[in-house]
Amino acid sequence: MADARRYHRLPSPFRMKRGGELIGAHLAYETWGTLSPHADNAVLILPGLSPSAHAASGPHDSSDGWWEAIIGPGKAIDTERWFVICVNSLGSCKGSTGPASHDPTSGRPYAIEFPELTLEDAANANQCLIDALGIARLACLVGCSMGGMTTLAQMLLHPNCTRAHISISTAPQAQPFAIAIRSLQREAIRLDPNWNNGAYDDTHYPEAGMRIARKLGVITYRSALEWSGRFSRIRLDSGARDEDPFAFEFAVESYLEAHARRFVRTYDPNSYLYLSRASDWFDIAEYGGGSVAAGLKKICIENALVIGVDTDILFPIEQQKAIADGLAEAGAKVDFVALDSPQGHDAFLVDTDRFGAEIRRFLDTLDTTGSVASSVAPAPAEQARHD
């Protein structure tokens, strides 16, 4: 399969928020559609922690992307109208510079010598790419999960970088439950003897730690309602069980194990640690004197769509409502949508019909500059729609 990724070299040195710098760093990204002559139809998409920049199929890579149902000709994010960019976050292992990349000063992988990473660093790197593409202002900035937190950082650090914003299943700061889960994920990886203080290799890979970390994540990505509906208390056939007295007995255990095994070795454990911790560190209240609302009030955009799911336990719907209210207080025209999907945090990846309908509706109200067409009045933030 061809590789559609492109690479943008960041300024060198690229200085980080918490100290340290990167030499010769780069971002991996993919694009779909055509940039207009005035460069006013660009939509930047920032994914969650683990997805790559391959959000959709295209002429250079025909494999399905992680948001295949949403992006493409005639789809919710119509590539016949919009120039779509998806960036792999700084610190990831899907093409952008991260802990698995080689440090040019030593010739060895950075591993845990990688500088302390924040989502603000990722936001600054994204803005470097947008500037290099000749885009003075995005028509729309879209962020999902961790990517949504990065979009908030980018709009704060680079005022007027976008006219419109779509916030999906994200938060203005990590809450204790999310921090606790990610802390356990990091601990599982670090306690695996093969992690070896970050100095693992393909032969000695912390597989057990990564499997446990992924299982913990998957449990929080879906809701209890869906787990019950899909698996109930269904037991495995006796022939499918191991003889170990504590072997998997329930179907849900087998599902989690299969899902985790598909994930390990497709993602760098140190990248997982760095981006997980960066998500915990991000707090928009730092920009508002300790107040989330005051931090959000510093964001300058014209229009926003904020979508959350009422069964999301990782980023509860109240956090998305706080984003909607804060952006409205800052002067944006905000449409807040609370979906009742049973699929929890991951609904934006699987309940694509309903998410796509909301995204299409919002983008259809914009002209190519990201401004609301005069004939359409968006719903105010306080008038949430529960679908």
What is the per-residue pLDDT across 292-317, written as a single tens digit (0 to 9) for each?
999 999 999 999 999 999 999 999 99
Among 121, 192, 312, 335, the one annotated catalytic: 312
ω into 176 cis (within 30 of 0): no
Which residue type sits at 70?
Answer: I
| Residue 124 Cα to chain centre, angstroms | 16
Residues of the chain where predicted confidence (pLDDT) is lower than 50:
373-383
* 54 assigned to active site: no
Which pLDDT score, from 0 to 100, does residue 1 have?
Answer: 61
Closest listed residue to residue 344, CA positions, set 229, 195, 255, 184: 229
**E strand or H helix at 221, and its extent?**
helix 207-221
Residue 83 backbone zone (phi > 0: left; psi -120 to 50: alpha; other: beta): beta
Tokens (6 digits) for 281? 């560190």
Which pLDDT score, from 0 to 100, does residue 378 have?
Answer: 39
* 312 assigned to active site: yes
* 345 assigned to active site: yes
Which pLDDT score, from 0 to 100, does residue 382 have?
Answer: 42
How far is the C-alpha of 304 from the C-alpha of 166, rounded, in Å?
6
Which pLDDT score, from 0 to 100, does residue 237 have?
Answer: 85
- Answer whether 0.85 is exceeded by the pTM: yes
CB 327 within 8 A of CB 299: yes
Among 50, 145, 169, 341, the one annotated catalytic: 145
